[in-house]
A and B are shown apart, each in its own frame.
Chain A
Amino acid sequence: MTRRNARLGGKIFTALVFLFLYAPIFVLIVFSFNSSKSRTTWTGFSFKWYAELFQNDAIMSSLYTTLLVAVISALIATVLGTFAALGFYTMKKRWRNPLLEVNNIPLMNADVVTGVSLCLLFVAAAAIMGDFTAWINKIFGTDLKTNFHLGFATLLIAHISFNTPYVILSVMPKLYQLDRNLVDAAQDLGCTFMQAFFKVVVPQIMPGIVNGIIIAFTMSIDDFVISYFTAGSTVNTLSMTIYAMARRRVSPEINAISTLLFLAVLILLVIINLREIRQEDKKKRLQKAIAR
Chain B
Amino acid sequence: MAKELIRLVNCSMAFDGEVVLDNINIYFNDKKFLTLLGPSGCGKTTTLRIIGGFLKPTSGDVLFDGVRINDVPPHRRRVNTVFQKYALFPHLDVFENIAFGLRLQKKPKLAEAEIKERVLEMLEVVNLKGFEHRQVSSLSGGQQQRVAIARALVNRPEVLLLDEPLGALDMRLRKDMQNELKRIQQAMGITFIYVTHDQEEALSMSDTVVVMNEGKIQQIGTPEDIYNEPKNAFVADFIGESNIVDGIMHEDGVVEIFGRKFKCLDSGFDPMEPVDVVIRPEDVDIVPLKEGMLTGLVTNVTFKGVHYDIIVDFKGFKWLIQTTDFCPVDSKIGIKIDPDGFHVMKKSKYSGMFGDYSSYSDEYDEISDSEYDPEAEEEDGQGGGYYED
- Residues in chain A within 8 A of chain B (CB atoms): 179, 181-182, 184-192, 195, 199-200, 203-204, 286, 289-290
A185 close to B87 (CB less than 8 A): yes
Q: How many CB-defined contacts (below 8 Å) exist between A and B?
A: 63
Chain B residues, Cβ within 8 Å of A188? 52, 54, 74-75, 79-81, 152
Please, could you name 16 A-B residue pairs with CB atoms under 8 Å apart, sorted by A?
A179-B85, A179-B87, A184-B52, A184-B54, A184-B81, A184-B87, A185-B81, A187-B54, A188-B52, A189-B80, A189-B104, A189-B151, A190-B104, A191-B104, A192-B75, A286-B137
Cross-interface CB contact of B155 among A187, A189, A199, A204, cutoff 8 Å? A189
Given contacts A204-B90, A286-B137, A289-B137, contact A185 B75 (CB under 8 A): no
CB proximity of A57 to chain B, nearest CB, Å: 47
A185 close to B83 (CB less than 8 A): yes
Q: Tell me which residues from 232 to 286 in chain B have a Cβ below 8 Å from any Cβ of chain A.
A: none
Given contacts A185-B83, A190-B105, contact A289 B138 (CB under 8 A): yes
Where chain A touches its partner, the secondary structure class is helix
Q: How far is B89's CA from A204's CA once the two chains are assembled, in angstroms?
A: 9
A182 close to B75 (CB less than 8 A): no
Given contacts A188-B52, A189-B101, 13 further A-B contacts (CB under 8 A): A181-B83, A181-B84, A185-B81, A185-B89, A185-B151, A187-B54, A189-B75, A189-B104, A189-B155, A191-B75, A192-B73, A195-B104, A204-B91
CB proximity of A138 to chain B, nearest CB, Å: 51
Chain A residues, Cβ within 8 Å of B100? 186, 189, 199
CB proximity of A182 to chain B, nearest CB, Å: 5
Q: How far is B91's CA from A166's CA once the two chains are assembled, in angstroms?
A: 25
Chain A residues, Cβ within 8 Å of B85? 179, 181
CB proximity of A185 to chain B, nearest CB, Å: 4
Q: Tell me which residues from 47 to 96 in chain B have a Cβ below 8 Å from any Cβ of chain A.
A: 52-54, 73-75, 79-81, 83-85, 87-91
Q: How far is B318's CA from A136's CA once the two chains are assembled, in angstroms?
A: 93
CB proximity of B165 to chain A, nearest CB, Å: 12
A187 close to B101 (CB less than 8 A): no
How many residues of B are in contact with the other chain, CB < 8 A? 26
Chain A minimum-CB-distance residue to B49: A184
B104 close to A181 (CB less than 8 A): no
A190 close to B91 (CB less than 8 A): no
Given contacts A179-B87, A181-B87, A184-B74, contact A190 B101 (CB under 8 A): yes
Chain B minimum-CB-distance residue to A184: B54
Q: How far is B54's CA from A290's CA once the two chains are assembled, in angstroms?
A: 28
CB proximity of A222 to chain B, nearest CB, Å: 32
- Residues in chain B within 8 A of chain A (CB atoms): 52-54, 73-75, 79-81, 83-85, 87-91, 100-101, 104-105, 137-138, 151-152, 155
- Candidate in A184, A192, A203 with the most chain B CB atoms within 10 angstroms: A184
Chain A residues, Cβ within 8 Å of B104? 189-191, 195
Chain A residues, Cβ within 8 Å of B79? 188
A190 close to B155 (CB less than 8 A): yes
A182 close to B87 (CB less than 8 A): yes
Chain A residues, Cβ within 8 Å of B81? 184-185, 188
Chain B residues, Cβ within 8 Å of A191? 75, 104
Chain A minimum-CB-distance residue to B137: A286
Chain A residues, Cβ within 8 Å of B88? 185
CB proximity of B256 to chain A, nearest CB, Å: 53
Given contacts A188-B81, A286-B137, contact A182 B54 (CB under 8 A): no
CB proximity of B380 to chain A, nearest CB, Å: 24
Chain B minimum-CB-distance residue to A285: B137
Chain B minimum-CB-distance residue to A282: B137
Pairs of residues from A and B, 6 with the lowest C-beta to C-beta distance, nearest first: A181-B87, A189-B101, A190-B104, A185-B87, A203-B91, A187-B74
Chain B residues, Cβ within 8 Å of A203? 89, 91
Q: How far is B222's CA from A230's CA once the two chains are assembled, in angstroms?
A: 74
Chain A residues, Cβ within 8 Å of B138? 289
Chain B residues, Cβ within 8 Å of A186? 89, 100
Chain A minimum-CB-distance residue to B98: A189
Chain A residues, Cβ within 8 Å of B75? 187-192
CB proximity of B86 to chain A, nearest CB, Å: 8
Q: How far is B136's CA from A182's CA once the two chains are assembled, in angstroms?
A: 14
Q: How far is B77's CA from A145's CA once the two chains are assembled, in angstroms?
A: 55
CB proximity of B176 to chain A, nearest CB, Å: 20
Q: How far is B103's CA from A200's CA once the two chains are assembled, in angstroms?
A: 14
Q: How far is B97's CA from A25's CA once the two chains are assembled, in angstroms?
A: 51
CB proximity of B138 to chain A, nearest CB, Å: 7
Chain B residues, Cβ within 8 Å of A189? 75, 80, 100-101, 104, 151-152, 155
B91 close to A187 (CB less than 8 A): no
Chain A residues, Cβ within 8 Å of B84? 181
